[in-house]
């Protein structure tokens, strides 16, 4: 493995949910420990299953892995870290401010910015404090800090003074207000991250176009703040042991095409390919096999015992959506699960049934025109440009909030608006315009704002509260947030894969949305091998490994669609139309 050669002290593994970065990180830590090194494996992933992989309970304390001498693990719980972080900020003013103001501060600290910074706060000592963790030869991180988080840490403004003077809205100011006293420690941590002799970035991907595009985006983002020297690991490549049934041959062709078209920015990086395994990466023997080629001997005798999955075609969801005659359908989920494809399939089906449909995306990585391959009568396609939305939002805030500030105040406000946390709020303003159209016809949106964004907008007096103040009790009004909260007007569809991490992440997203008063309407499990009814023992073993997650999804929602893994990418009108006619039962 190229990424393991002359490994530095710190190794960071990053990639989309479901690509196998936890498995690769765990196997790396185990390999280094078996070579005689003392290794600490650290997870900052909110959907971490490091404990499950090793079969032990791991928490926020260093835990030795008994069956792997030299290896210890630590799981940083992002929610616990965020709660402790919030308390450190709020405690000094508790009793000095009214409860309503304390609640507002707590809400401004409830989102992903705070969680990321709090997690980084927790493992900063691992990077900057050799006295506590100097005994370890290697520290392996599952889920690296994003460029987003590190840019926040690098913002130089005095946020505590800015907030105290009442000179701004807390888009990112809440979490940033707690950073001042830790600036020196953070600086040491960032210095370690940007030193290639001390830190190695490993970008984990699947042999899929969207997954490879994501590692390019991450790599370029981290390059902007000085983290370079990355390595690429393409995980889960279908091996010869998977056999030669039509599905296997088609998947190999898809993977080969994706790897051949790997984005230019990461194409020249050192690259390793890891074979897909027939079972889940749970237990030390499984981890020890990850870096070896897959053979027929890896397939157990009972692999073919795959329970039948329930027939749950996407067409059934489309039928229910159509009954309303108009409305908003939002396809949400983590990157790489197929949101764009599902959104396009729903939109095409409604248009072909004679309805006027507007299909749009807020995802900067989405390519709806490539997915559709041309125009379809009744279907309008657009894209909300995040960069244009952000620039417009910054100008608006500087012209309004910044109008009466002094030079220092305007400079501080301008700096806050450069923070990535303002991006979601900016896109929401454009998104709100599209939402209004759903009163007249169908609007299908690929990638909507997160529950955190909606809560922040509502709690800080942005759109919803501003309208409420202006209108008062004199007349009725409906804001975009209220429309999203109304199940008669909006149907939120969560898209996932039948794998542990994507299902956990979708479950967390559902909880976040419910906090904002939005209750997801349905789940779609995409690219299911079990629903494709494979014939060879290898793919049957993979199908069997999905059943637990499919069962779990049924406990989280009462409306599920199951889309089988297809031999060809579902692009173009014909294939997208076929997607809404597929059954989960064999022909």
> What amino acid positions are annotated as catalytic residues?
18, 20-23, 45, 501
- Helices 386-400 + 422-436 axis angle, to 10: 100
H/E segment holding residue 185: helix 183-193
Helices (H), 67-182: 78-90, 99-108, 112-128, 130-133, 147-154, 159-164, 173-176
CA angle 503, 11, 267 (to 5 degrees): 80
- Show Cβ contacts of residue 386 under 8 Å, excluding neighbours closer than 6 positions: 362, 364, 423, 426, 427
- Show Cβ contacts of residue 268 under 8 Å, excluding neighbours closer than 6 positions: none
Residue with tokens 């997203």: 509
**Cβ-contact 383, 360 below 8 angstroms:** yes
How many C-beta neighbours within 10 Å does residue 61 have?
A: 9
Tokens encoding 370 = 């490539």
Q: How far apart (Å, rounded) are the C-alpha atoms in residues 393 and 432? A: 13
Q: Which residues of 463-502 are buried (b: 16+ CB within 10 A; e: fewer)?
A: bbeeeeeeeeeeeeeebbbbbbbeeebbbbbbbbbbbbbb
The beta-carbon contacts of 359-363 under 8 Å, at least 24 apart in sequence, are 359/444, 359/446, 360/384, 360/434, 360/443, 360/444, 360/445, 360/446, 361/445, 361/446, 361/447, 362/386, 362/427, 362/430, 362/431, 362/445, 362/446, 362/447, 362/448, 362/449, 363/339, 363/446, 363/447
């Amino acid at each position: 493995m190229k990424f393991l050669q002359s490994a530095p002290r710190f190794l960071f593994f990053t990639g989309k949910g479901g690509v196998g970065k936890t498995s690769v990180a765990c196997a790396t830590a185990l390999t280094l420990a078996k070579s005689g090194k003392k290794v600490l494996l650290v997870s900052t992933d909110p959907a971490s299953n490091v404990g499950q992989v090793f079969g032990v309970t791991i928490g926020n304390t260093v835990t030795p892995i008994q069956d792997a001498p030299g290896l210890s693990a630590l799981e940083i719980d992002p929610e616990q870290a965020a709660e402790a972080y919030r308390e450190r900020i709020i405690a000094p003013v508790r009793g000095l401010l009214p409860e309503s103001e304390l609640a507002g501060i707590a809400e401004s600290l409830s989102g992903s910015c705070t969680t990321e910074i709090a997690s980084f706060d927790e493992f900063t000592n691992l990077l900057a404090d050799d006295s506590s963790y100097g005994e370890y030869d290697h520290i392996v991180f599952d889920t690296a800090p994003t460029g987003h988080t590190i840019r926040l840490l690098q913002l130089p403004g005095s946020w505590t003074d800015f907030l105290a003077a009442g000179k701004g809205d807390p888009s990112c100011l809440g979490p940033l207000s707690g950073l001042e006293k830790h600036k020196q420690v953070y600086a040491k941590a960032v210095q370690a991250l940007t030193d290639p002799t001390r830190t190695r970035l490993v970008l984990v991907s699947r042999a899929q176009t969207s997954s490879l595009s994501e590692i390019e985006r991450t790599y370029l983002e981290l390059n902007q703040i000085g983290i370079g020297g990355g390595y690429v690991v393409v995980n889960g490549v279908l091996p010869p042991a998977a056999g030669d049934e039509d599905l296997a041959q088609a998947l190999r062709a898809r993977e080969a095409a994706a790897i051949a078209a790997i984005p230019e920015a990461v194409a020249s990086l050192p690259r390793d390919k890891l074979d897909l395994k027939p079972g889940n990466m749970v237990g030390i023997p499984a981890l020890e096999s990850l870096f070896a080629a897959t053979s027929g001997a890896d397939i157990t005798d009972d692999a073919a015992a795959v329970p039948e999955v329930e027939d749950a075609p996407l067409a059934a969801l489309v039928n229910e959506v159509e009954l309303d005659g108009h409305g908003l359908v939002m396809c949400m989920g983590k990157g790489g699960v197929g949101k764009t494809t599902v959104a396009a399939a729903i939109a095409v089906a409604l248009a072909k049934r004679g309805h006027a449909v507007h299909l749009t995306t807020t995802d900067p990585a989405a390519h709806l025109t490539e997915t559709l391959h041309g125009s379809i009568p009744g279907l309008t396609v657009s894209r909300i440009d995040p960069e244009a939305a952000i620039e417009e939002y910054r100008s608006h805030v500087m012209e309004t909030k910044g109008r009466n500030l002094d030079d220092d105040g305007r400079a501080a406000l301008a700096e806050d608006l450069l923070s990535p946390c303002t991006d979601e709020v900016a896109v929401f303003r454009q998104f709100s315009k599209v939402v209004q159209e759903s009163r007249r016809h169908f609007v299908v949106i690929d990638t909507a704002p997160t529950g955190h964004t909606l809560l922040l907008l509502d709690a800080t007096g942005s759109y919803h509260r501003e309208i409420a103040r202006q209108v008062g009790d004199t007349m009725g009004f409906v804001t975009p947030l209220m429309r999203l909260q109304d199940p008669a007007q909006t149907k939120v569809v969560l898209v996932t894969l039948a794998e542990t991490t994507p299902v956990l992440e979708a479950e967390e997203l559902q909880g976040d949305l419910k906090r904002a008063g939005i209750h997801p309407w349905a789940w779609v499990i995409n690219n299911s091998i079990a629903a494709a009814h494979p014939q060879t023992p290898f793919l049957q073993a993979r199908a069997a490994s999905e059943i637990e997650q499919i069962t779990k999804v049924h406990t989280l929602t009462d409306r599920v669609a199951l889309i089988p893994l297809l031999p060809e990418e579902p692009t173009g009108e014909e294939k997208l139309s076929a997607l809404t006619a597929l059954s989960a039962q064999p022909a």
